[in-house]
Structure 1
């Protein structure tokens, strides 16, 4: 009997020690809206995914290795709340990492340094009617690139993230192209450096994506700079971005604000897309919206957006429901949705 009690006590102690040294968390977002979008030549109504935040399901965990070291993993995949989707994979993030006083070394698929700036310094981030749509400004299917001229995420990546250095933060990422016969085709490299202290946040990012062919590669270069300042009653933000490559150049200028109003937040943003190599291929978008906090985890939101295309432009709104308009046609859209974090 004593031996049994000792064994149970030992097991309980071991389990408790294990629970203290490691943990695994299930998390996610369910976000869907009722939306309507109209253009000069077509219109569509229905449910749109991710009007406020991209719907997702994920698992993450951290283990204490001792001596100031930790190991972690993060597996996260996108969801379609409107119809459940046709399959599930960890396409948003799939990484393992080692962390310590030196910072963090992270391996796997993750957001690019440049894309993190695009999300951070825009009032609507990159979801819904007001989404910044600041990635792949040149092409979402540029020849030889893994996912476009400046993708949201990079696969086969090795990243180093700075430790906490006052308000300074930063990241450098290299993504292997993994193309037979070529050491650089489809590879990516990105760098981000910023400073966040109190109400101020400012950061710059730079990246290069190798496209083209093994015999003749093309460098798609991107740069962006963003800043925001929280005055308490309002947080203005500005974002400037540019992509260049294959004799093309598209610039983005965005100005936005967030302001606490009642039990929620008012958001507004104006964005200008300038094609520097082609005339009459610019676009302008204005969006305004409000998120009402039903609780810490649940938000009811609404947004309206208008995107005006020049005669040769055919850009679309950020909503998952948005059609690609005919050349020169503009779009108007609105949505009312619900987001729940868990």
Structure 2
């Protein structure tokens, strides 16, 4: 098995230098092993409970994951076969390849699926080089719990996340903090064509120095023109409690300045190839 997912800008068609995913693997009755750039176990746990399915205005992506990883390079992952509804994942990365722990990432997850029920938990540890003092290596720990229950076409979702440590996006952003956040939302497939979703995230930061406690929400509507083509409209807003250097975005395509409480509206058409 192999997967290659290139990315390009919908505005001008320019291809990104980095792939969304790029990995190879083996699959059998014993499970599957994949190697390369790929989604982390937390993506499959928290991402499944994201009512927007990780859309551009996703509050799960933009406020809960924020600068925690949900895709990593040079990763090896083992996924177990399903056993009475339980599936496990273990992931590790090689890091940057020097004698330090910089870039190393470790993750373990367990989820349960049976009928309308989904429950999952994951714990992840990452080592990151200080972007201002390259001799220093910091760590961060993220834990996620997610649950979904399906009532026909209606699915309420819940995510709880704790974070503690150093987070960075070189060379632009770096901060050290700890706290928790929670997401409550739902998605509703009304009639097979019309679909709506709503998601609200509250983030509680213990320090409120680099990042702030905040609440954000998104609501979206999709209408299926065909099996592969949708019209969509989305509105999102984030309200921070404090004026801090690192703000939460509605979308990472347009990053807010310090102290801003951004809002965003999207409408358009998308086609799956």
TM-score over 0.5 (shorter chain)? yes
CA pair 310-299 structure 1, distance change in 2 beyond 3 A? same
State the Cα distance separating 1:117 from its structure 2 match.
2.3
Aligned partners of 2:52 and 2:187 also within 8 Å:
no
1:70-109 equivalences under 5 Å are 72-85=1-14, 87-89=15-17, 91-109=19-37
Which of the pair has more CA radius of gyration?
A: 1
Instruction: Report the Cα distance in structure 2 between the residues aligned to 1:81 and 1:317, rounded to whole angstroms.
Output: 18
Instruction: Report the Cα distance in structure 1 between the residues aligned to 2:58 and 2:108, rounded to whole angstroms.
Output: 26
Q: Does 1:326 align with 2:258?
A: yes
Instruction: Report the Cα distance in structure 1 between the residues aligned to 2:217 and 2:20, rounded to whole angstroms.
Output: 28
2:160 counterpart residue number: 240
1:122 counterpart residue number: 50
Match of 1:270 among 194, 200, 204: 200
- TM-score between both structures, scaled by the size of structure 1: 0.70
CA pair 318-95 structure 1, distance change in 2 beyond 3 A? same
Instruction: Report the Cα distance in structure 1 between the residues aligned to 2:81 and 2:214, rounded to whole angstroms.
Output: 39
Structure 1 segments of 4+ aligned residues over 6 angstroms from their partners:
none
Q: Does 1:335 align with 2:266?
A: yes
Match of 1:151 among 58, 69, 72: 69
Instruction: Report the Cα distance in structure 2 between the residues aligned to 1:169 and 1:240, rounded to whole angstroms.
Output: 20
1:261 counterpart residue number: 190
1:34-45 equivalences under 5 Å are none
The C-alpha deviation readout for 1:225-259, integer Å capped at 9, x for no partner, is 00000111421000011210156203221000111
Instruction: Report the Cα distance in structure 2 between the residues aligned to 1:158 and 1:94, rounded to whole angstroms.
Output: 12
Q: Does 1:207 align with 2:135?
A: no
2:169 counterpart residue number: none
Q: Does 1:229 align with 2:158?
A: no
Q: Relative contact order: is structure 1 or structure 2 higher (C-alpha 8 Å, sep ≥ 6)? A: 1
State the Cα distance separating 1:88 from its structure 2 match.
4.2
Number of aligned residues? 256
Task: Give 5+ residue unaligned stretches, structure 1.
Answer: 1-71, 141-149
The C-alpha deviation readout for 1:81-114, integer Å capped at 9, x for no partner, is 21112x3445211111111111011111101111
1:180 counterpart residue number: 98
1:49 counterpart residue number: none
Aligned partners of 1:127 and 1:318 also within 8 Å:
no
- TM-score between both structures, scaled by the size of structure 2: 0.86
The C-alpha deviation readout for 1:122-164, integer Å capped at 9, x for no partner, is 1113222244224554xx4xxxxxxxxx212111111101112
Instruction: Report the Cα distance in structure 2 between the residues aligned to 1:121 and 1:272, rounded to whole angstroms.
Output: 15
The C-alpha deviation readout for 1:206-239, integer Å capped at 9, x for no partner, is 1100124686532211100000001114210000
Instruction: Report the Cα distance in structure 1 between the residues aligned to 2:64 and 2:153, rounded to whole angstroms.
Output: 30
What is the DSSP-based 3-state SS (H/G/I as helix, E as strand, rest coil) of the residue aligned with 2:226? coil
Aligned partners of 2:5 and 2:19 also within 8 Å:
yes
Match of 2:212 among 242, 260, 281: 281
Task: Give 5+ residue unaligned stretches, structure 2.
Answer: 167-175
